[in-house]
Structure 1
Amino acid sequence: MPILNELGHDSDWMDPDEVPRPVVTYGFITEVFGSIELAPHRHAKGQIILAQRGALSCEVDGGLWIVPPRSAIWIPGGALHSVKATGALEGYNAFIAPDAEAGLPGSCCALSVSPLLRELLARAAALPALYEESGANARLVSVLLDEIAAARIEDLHLPMPADARLRRVVDLMMAAPAERGTLDAWARRAGLSERTLARLIHRETGMSFGRWRQQLGVMLAIKWLAGGASIQQVAADLGYESVPSFVTMFRKALGTSPGRYMAERHASRR
């Protein structure tokens, strides 16, 4: 199944795993202002998803990745993954054959997308599914693979636990991110001691409870801001008593304010 709706060539859709080409690229666009979710699935080919407008969240290999504008996610071939999106979206998918993945990341990661990489994906998406594998097309695909391999990895990742008890706590926290309960309060909701919950979350994610919850807030903030929410809305939805306290947290985590962060992302589309 294609991810979301194809951009410009619905009649040309083919399962990328069945297309005998090293790189198969599709555009996608949707104007549905609701939630879209693709159930866990996998491709034999690796996949890069670029978001030009809107934001996606992908859960892959026990981790949650947020894909805001100017970023992409790389999903190695065979990795089980699910995709969620909210609001209007626009971007590109490229599926890369295993024998063409040399030099590409060996595990799932978020990538910073340069203007050149964005334009290469757009050019590749305009090719027929069964494009000629010589001349200009071969050079285009080769440069595209080089640019993906050279892309800078971004910290847009939240480790997700596998332990069933801890996952219940995590699901509750993600469903109600405005609840600012203490570690002890969350432990009691899960039927655990405070010490056990702290030990489990560090073992499963490599983070303290406080650090993990802050990273969750950053990931949700990026997703909501990219979806069109205001800074005031995001601060309230994350349970902050004031906008300045939320901005301070965001700046400490990412080195810039949420307003500037999103302005730079949207400026890259021009």
Structure 2
Amino acid sequence: MSVLAFLRANNDLDSIVQPAIALRAHVAEEDRDPSMHHHRKGQLVVALRGSVICEVPKGLWMVPPQHGVWIPGGTPHSMKASANTDLCLLCVEPDAITLPSECCTLSITPLLRELILRLSTCSQAYEVGSSTDRLVALLLEELSNMKIELLYFPVSEERKLRTIADELVSNPADRRTAREWAAHLAVSERTLTRMILDETGMSFGRWRQQLQVILALKGLYAGKSIQALSEELGYESVSAFITMFKKALGKPPARYYNETRLS
């Protein structure tokens, strides 16, 4: 049973009062939450292999290896895991540690990853002062030092922007310009570009690129070739796709993948 299925079947996890607990599972086939929900505890979603996308009302968050998505307690969300994904879910009490109050992507050090993996093998009913309690204290201290990464696609609740977002997710090769989208939605180009900037803090081109980065990462960790990804995302050439990826993440896709995937 995947973590997602486990959470759907066990709604009493929030009743556990320990500072932190961890769950680990393998997702053999693609799995997704049927709808948004929330928990009292905050959650750090960590992909060990494969990919997980978390959706909150205002954004999509990609969980590549060596990163985790932090979902604060009380935040409505849903998760989608690709086939053959190994993941961990770290559930943290709201008052156990000071972490961002908004959903974000955090870098994960090798030490933090190993601590989470170790905790996933421990009993959830540990006592204060026990070896597990001491492990959790070290884990939470390490977690508090993690750096925020900008691997997300902001999604507005504004109807017109949501229409664009939904269509781009369904067809990421769609290369319509802001002017063409404006005509499609019966608004002026100026109005649409201002709306996107106000709602997401990004230009139209930057906003669309954020989605393509997320989908490119998802495809890379699913084993797709760079050639296939460049075609799926609507790039005229592999070199154009590599240039976009390197500009966004600082490294070409093959190097990024080799440096972040698990051995």
| TM-score relative to the length of structure 2 | 0.93
After TM superposition, give the deviation of residue 38 of structure 1 in Å: 4.5
Moved more, 219-228 or 250-259: 219-228
In the TM superposition, structure 1's runs of 4+ consecutive aligned residues that sit over 4 Å from their partners are none
Residues 52 and 2 (structure 1 numbering): CA distance in 2 closer, same or farther, change over 3 Å? closer
What is the alpha-carbon distance in structure 1 between the residues aligned to residue 15 and residue 133 of structure 2? 19
After TM superposition, give the deviation of residue 133 of structure 1 in Å: 2.4
After TM superposition, give the deviation of residue 4 of structure 1 in Å: 2.9
**What secondary structure is seen at the aligned counterpart in 2 of 1:181?**
coil
Q: Does 1:78 align with 2:74?
A: yes
CA-based RMSD of the aligned residues comes to 1.9
Moved more, 42-51 or 170-179: 170-179
For 1:20, the equivalent position in structure 2 comes to 17
Identity %: 44
After TM superposition, give the deviation of residue 81 of structure 1 in Å: 0.7
The letter for the 2-side match of 1:184 is R
Residues 149 and 61 (structure 1 numbering): CA distance in 2 closer, same or farther, change over 3 Å? farther
Q: Does 1:220 align with 2:208?
A: no
C-alpha deviations, 1:221-256, integer Å up to 9, x for none?
111111221111110000011111100111111110
Q: Does 1:174 align with 2:169?
A: yes
What is the alpha-carbon distance in structure 2 between the residues aligned to residue 26 and residue 142 of structure 1? 17
CA contact (8 A) 1:14 1:129 kept: no
What is the alpha-carbon distance in structure 1 between the residues aligned to residue 145 and residue 34 of structure 2? 29
CA contact (8 A) 1:52 1:70 kept: yes
The letter for the 1-side match of 2:134 is R
For 1:3, the equivalent position in structure 2 comes to 3
CA contact (8 A) 2:112 2:142 kept: yes
| TM-score relative to the length of structure 1 | 0.91
CA contact (8 A) 1:5 1:30 kept: no
CA contact (8 A) 1:37 1:85 kept: no
The letter for the 1-side match of 2:3 is I
For 1:183, the equivalent position in structure 2 comes to 178
Q: Any gaps of 5 or more consecutive residues in structure 2?
A: none
After TM superposition, give the deviation of residue 262 of structure 1 in Å: 0.8
Q: Any gaps of 5 or more consecutive residues in structure 1?
A: none
Moved more, 41-50 or 130-139: 130-139
For 1:89, the equivalent position in structure 2 comes to 85
What is the alpha-carbon distance in structure 2 between the residues aligned to residue 28 and residue 158 of structure 1? 26
